[in-house]
Amino acid sequence: MLQGAYGISKSNALLHEYSSLMAEAVLRERTRVAEHTARIESELASKVKSEFISNMSHELRTPLNTVIGFSKILANQQSGAMDAEQVIEYANLINDAAAHLLTVINDILDISKIQAGSYTLDARELDVKEILSRQIEAISNDAAAAQVAIENLLPEALPPIRGDDGKLAQIFGNLLSNAVKFTLPGGKVEIESRSSQDESLTIIIRDTGVGMTPEELAIALEPFGQVDGSRTRWREGTGLGLPIAKSLTELHGGTLNIRSEKDAGTEAVLHFPSRNYLSIAAARDAVFGGGGKAGGSR
Ligand SMILES: Nc1ncnc2c1ncn2[C@@H]1O[C@H](COP(=O)(O)OP(=O)(O)OP(=O)(O)O)[C@@H](O)[C@H]1O
Ligand SMILES: [Mg+2]
């Protein structure tokens, strides 16, 4: 009996020892994994940061160099040496470069305002068809130059929504510009809509372009995130269009979902609630949790 009790307490002690050894081993393994993950994350963060700085300085410097270079040529010309056509051509180059620079700077200001939760919208009842058609028209020259066909499959009229026309134009413009920019010659971009009985509105912008893997899509949705962030990337841009479009849609109480398949194409699905469903103020509270501050997507 006594020996039995001794045996039990010995096996208990052994079990105790085993369990603490196991716990130590688990802890060691967890620490190792955490250290490894932290190292990879910090390496990735510094890679993204340096890619961002190099890409950003390229995006700012290129148009600035155009402005400085061509305005200098114009200023230094002997009077009357340059013909009027050439002067107009140079002035247009300066104008385009300055307009591009303004877009980049506005995008940076927009994303920082969105992240600070200090973005305000004008809320009016809007004709979405008119706003979207204007943006399709605006991208048509770029599409023709890129040999990308645009198929406008929108119906005669779309249900009105409440929102800010400038911001809606920005959302559509960013998504259309991506669809054209990342589609190879011979491809196409389709724009269609679906409206449901509750008068909510879905707009779909679909392309047959280069597409993205799920990992690439996650990067693309991050501010400044670009699938190919290298200096020699095949398309220009700062990586702000998609996150701005997503945040502005959410400020309207809507959603933006991107579906993409590598080498097959991308579909951007915008959904806006009916004009009666949410006021802009309620949408803002939904996005910012009622406190007027952004939850911070980063
Ligand atoms: N329709 C698309 N097809 C394939 N890749 C896309 C598409 N839209 C976006 N991407 C990828 O997502 C990245 C981020 O897109 P985003 O619009 O935010 O930035 P950008 O177009 O590079 O620059 P910006 O819009 O600021 O001028 C792009 O660089 C591209 O790699
Ligand atoms: Mg873009």
- Phi, psi torsion values for 212, nearest 5 degrees: -140, 150
Q: How confident is the model at residue 3 (pLDDT cuts 50, 70, 90)?
A: low
Mutate to test the pocket of ligand 1, among 135, 226, 298 (most ligand atoms within 8 A of CB): 226
d(CA 141, CA 135) in angstroms, rounded, equals: 11
C-beta pairs of 111-118 under 8 Å, 24+ apart in sequence: 111/223, 111/240, 111/243, 111/244, 111/247, 114/244, 114/247, 114/248, 114/251, 114/294, 115/223, 115/294, 115/296, 115/297, 115/298, 116/293, 116/294, 117/288, 117/291, 117/292, 117/293, 117/294
15-25 residue pLDDT tens: 888 888 888 88
Instruction: Answer yes or no: is 40 within a domain.
Output: no
CA of residue 40 to ligand 2 center, whole Å:
28
d(CA 129, CA 259) in angstroms, rounded, equals: 23
Q: What percent of the chain has pLDDT over 90?
A: 44
Q: What is the pTM of this model?
A: 0.75
Q: How many domains is the chain partitioned into structurally?
A: 1
Instruction: Answer yes or no: is 175 within a domain.
Output: yes
182-198 residue pLDDT tens: 999 999 999 999 988 88
208 pocket-lining for ligand 1 (C-beta < 6 Å): no
CA of residue 244 to ligand 2 center, whole Å:
9
User: Residue 191 forms beta bridges with which residues?
Assistant: 152, 205
**Of all helices (H) and strands (E), which one includes residue 182?**
none
Instruction: Answer yes or no: is 181 within a domain.
Output: yes
CATH number at residue 240: 3.30.565.10
In this predicted model, which residue has the larger pLDDT, 80 or 83? Answer: 83
State which residues form the domain around 243: 124-288
**What is the residue type of 91?**
A
**What is the residue type of 81?**
A
CB atoms within 10 A of CB 115: 18
Instruction: Answer yes or no: is 179 within a domain.
Output: yes
Confidence (pLDDT) at 117: 81
245-285 residue pLDDT tens: 999 999 998 999 999 999 999 999 999 988 765 555 555 55
For residue 227, is pLDDT > 60? yes
Q: What percent of the chain has pLDDT over 70?
A: 87
Alpha helices in 77-127 (DSSP H): 84-116
What angle, rounded to 10 degrees, do the helices at 241-251 and 84-116 form? 50
Q: What is the mean pLDDT of residues 130-143?
A: 96
Contact criterion met (CB below 8 Å) for 201 and 161: yes
242 pocket-lining for ligand 1 (C-beta < 6 Å): yes
d(CA 117, CA 289) in angstroms, rounded, equals: 11
d(CA 277, CA 200) in angstroms, rounded, equals: 9
| Closest CA relative to residue 287, chosen from 120, 154, 169 | 120
Please count the residues of the chain: 298
220 pocket-lining for ligand 1 (C-beta < 6 Å): yes
Instruction: Answer yes or no: is 3 within a domain.
Output: no
CA of residue 285 to ligand 1 center, whole Å:
28
Q: What is the mean pLDDT of residues 205-214?
A: 95
Atom 29, ligand 1: which residue's CA is nearest?
Answer: 226
d(CA 149, CA 210) in angstroms, rounded, equals: 15
Instruction: Answer yes or no: is 41 within a domain.
Output: no
Ion ligand 2: residues, CB within 5 A, are 178, 241
Residue whose structure tokens are 């190919």: 228
What six digits make up the tokens of 217? 């899509």
Give the number of the ligand closest to the Cα of residue 258.
Answer: 1
Confidence (pLDDT) at 123: 82
Instruction: Answer yes or no: is 281 within a domain.
Output: yes
For residue 56, is pLDDT > 70? yes
| Closest CA relative to residue 219, chosen from 298, 295, 288 | 298
**Of all helices (H) and strands (E), which one includes residue 204?**
strand 201-207
Instruction: Answer yes or no: is 294 within a domain.
Output: no
d(CA 239, CA 56) in angstroms, rounded, equals: 9
Confidence (pLDDT) at 296: 34
What is the average pLDDT score of the chain?
84
